Amino acid sequence: MTKSREIEKLIENMKDALSSNEEVSNRKSPEELLYTRDSLKSFKTNQAWPGRNYILVGNSYNVEKRVIDTSGATRRTACIAVVLERGRSNRRCVSIEEALKVPGFVECLSRFEYEWLKKQPPSTLLGPAFDNDGNLVQESFAVWRREETYRTHSRKPVLSGRYRRTY
- Classify residue 2 by burial, with Cβ atoms within 10 Å: 0-12, 13-18, 19+: exposed
CB contact at 8 A, 136 and 130: yes
pLDDT for 25 equals 47
pLDDT for 147 equals 84
| Strand-by-strand arrangement of the 54-59 sheet | 54-59, 136-146, 125-130, 94-95
* CA–CA dist 120, 125 (Å, integer): 10
In a 3-state reduction of DSSP, which class is residue 15? helix
pLDDT for 18 equals 66
pLDDT for 14 equals 72
Q: Mark the ranges of the chain whose per-residue pLDDT is less than 70.
A: 1, 17-38, 62-69, 149-167
Whole-prediction pTM: 0.64
CB contact at 8 A, 63 and 56: no
Residues in the chain: 167
pLDDT for 3 equals 74
pLDDT for 59 equals 84
CB contact at 8 A, 126 and 143: yes
